[in-house]
């Protein structure tokens, strides 16, 4: 079955903030993170279609396809030719190779298009997963230093560099430094989520309440239920259960069941009742991309509100409610 990307919905506040940042620039790179599947990539791809300026979008995880690894605006054939040549030579993923060569890409662009007096926007998507935790601090500092170098060399009107990740573990490394601004993007709010549900044409619109309850507004989870599981929520939950059974084995092997049950009821307990044991649990859940630190403001400088029905606390949240529900079910079944 051919899967067509659904129409882009909502995110107007995020788009407006990104447009303002692109216009005025930022002296620090933006490190944008959020739950897996929350829509970071789709937002940024939509942004580069709409923004005025010289834009470079790099998919750091793309292995070989030059058309996917980098998107330029304006399209410059000489740069595309350069990327195609690089694709034949690069060792490892092409996107990661390009993410390390932003300076050279800008140089190639500047040979054909004047950057002086224009906005320059660089987006590096999913960088942490591409380069690994051991390089992320170095890379973000390199992006910070790159902003100054590009200003001095090309005199653009403004520079905006955004790097994205879903890896919560990287926050501990990045947030201890002052050379980046960390921002959060969350799952869709209820009404835009319902709009996306309708766009995907469910067999029954009455499904939308249950879809909201289990996904918490996560677009990728919704699309997976629609296209992979043909709107069978139970089938999707069974798939998740098989993954989480292994995680629970790890938690049980460390006798952290009580701490887990508390975190299921309120994810903030890993912070408010901090002990070596709750910290150990938090690290396991973060590494597995089940729990995420959320005491960070969004792009438009608001906080994601707490909602314990969806597993969202003030400091921490379950990336989607289904993770919490399945772990609770498995704990009770013991």
98 and 201 both lie in a single domain: no
29 and 152 part of one domain: yes
Pair 40, 132 in one domain: yes
Q: Is residue 5 part of a domain?
A: no
> Of the residues 167, 184, 201, which one is the last residue of a structural domain?
184
37 and 150 in one domain? yes
Q: 3 in a domain, yes or no?
A: no
Q: Both 172 and 203 in a single domain?
A: no
Per-residue pLDDT of the chain (334 residues; tens, 9 = 90+): 445 678 888 899 999 999 999 999 999 999 999 999 999 999 999 999 999 999 999 999 998 888 889 999 887 888 888 888 888 877 788 999 999 999 999 999 999 899 999 999 999 999 998 999 899 999 999 999 999 999 999 999 999 999 999 888 888 899 999 999 999 999 999 999 999 999 999 999 899 999 999 999 999 999 999 999 999 999 999 999 999 999 999 999 999 999 999 999 999 999 999 999 999 999 999 999 999 999 999 999 999 999 999 999 999 999 999 999 999 999 998 6
Q: Which of 176, 234, 227, 166 is nearest to 202 (CA)?
A: 227
Give pLDDT, residue 260: 98
- Whether 73 is covered by a domain: the verdict is yes
Give the model's pLDDT for residue 89. Answer: 79
Residues 246 and 319 in one domain: yes
70 shares its domain with 154: yes
User: Do 147 and 26 share a domain, yes or no?
Assistant: yes
Q: Tell which of 150, 184, 218 closes a domain.
A: 184
Q: Is 309 exposed, middle or buried (0-12, 13-18, 19+ CB in 10 A)?
A: exposed
Per the domain annotation, does 98 fall within a domain? Answer: yes
Q: Which of 232, 220, 315 is nearest to 268 (CA)?
A: 315
Residue 247 falls inside a structural domain: yes
Domain C-terminal end among 184, 212, 230: 184
Quick check: 204 and 52 in contact, CB under 8 A?
Answer: no
Residue 90 has a pLDDT of: 77
Phi/psi of residue 307, nearest 5 degrees: -160, 90
CB 60 within 8 A of CB 131: yes
Place of tokens 């029954």: 204
In a domain, 223, yes or no: yes
Considering the domain architecture, whether residues 147 and 214 belong to the same structural domain is answered as no
Same domain, 36 and 92: yes
Q: How far is residue 41 from each of residues 29, 58, 174, 272, measured CA to CA in Å? A: 17, 11, 20, 32
- Torsional sign, CA 80, 82, 88, 92: negative
Are 212 and 102 part of one and the same domain? Answer: no
| Domain assignment present for 316 | yes
State whether 34 and 96 are in the same domain.
yes
Structural domain range at position 34: 12-184
Question: Number of folded domains in the chain?
Answer: 2
CATH code for position 111: 3.40.50
The strand pairing partners of 161, in sequence order, are 122
Q: Is 21 part of a structural domain of the chain?
A: yes
């Amino acid at each position: 079955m051919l899967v067509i990307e659904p129409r882009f919905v909502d995110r107007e506040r995020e788009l407006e903030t990104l447009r303002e940042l692109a216009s005025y620039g930022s002296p620090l790179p933006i490190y944008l993170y959020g739950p897996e599947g929350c829509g970071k990539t789709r937002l940024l791809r939509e942004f580069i279609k709409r923004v005025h300026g010289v834009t470079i979008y790099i998919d750091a995880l793309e292995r070989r396809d030059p058309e996917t690894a980098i998107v330029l605006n304006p399209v410059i054939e000489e740069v595309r030719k350069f990327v195609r040549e690089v694709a034949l030579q690069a060792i490892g993923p092409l996107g990661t190779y390009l993410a390390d060569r932003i300076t050279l890409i800008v140089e190639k662009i500047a040979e054909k298009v004047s950057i002086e007096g224009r906005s320059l926007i660089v987006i590096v998507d999913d960088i942490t997963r591409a380069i690994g935790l051991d390089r992320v601090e170095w890379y973000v500092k390199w992006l910070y230093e790159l902003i100054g170098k590009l200003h001095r060399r090309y005199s653009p009107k403004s520079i905006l560099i955004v790097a994205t990740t879903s890896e919560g573990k990287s926050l501990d490394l990045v947030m201890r430094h002052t050379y980046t601004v960390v921002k959060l993007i969350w799952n869709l709010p209820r009404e835009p989520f319902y709009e996306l549900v309708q766009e995907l044409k469910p067999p029954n619109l009455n499904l939308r309440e249950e879809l909201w309850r289990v996904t918490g507004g996560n677009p990728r989870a919704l699309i997976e239920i629609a296209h992979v599981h043909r709107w069978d929520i139970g089938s999707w939950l069974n798939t998740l259960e098989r993954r989480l059974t292994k995680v629970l084995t790890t938690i049980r092997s460390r006798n952290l069941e009580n701490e887990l049950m508390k975190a299921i009821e309120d994810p903030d307990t890993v912070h408010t009742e901090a002990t070596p044991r709750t910290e150990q649990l938090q690290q396991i859940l973060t590494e597995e991309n089940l729990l995420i630190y959320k005491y960070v403001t969004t792009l438009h400088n608001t906080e994601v509100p707490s909602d314990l029905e969806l597993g969202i606390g003030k400091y921490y949240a379950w990336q989607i409610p289904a993770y919490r529900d399945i772990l609770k079910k498995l704990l009770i079944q013991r």
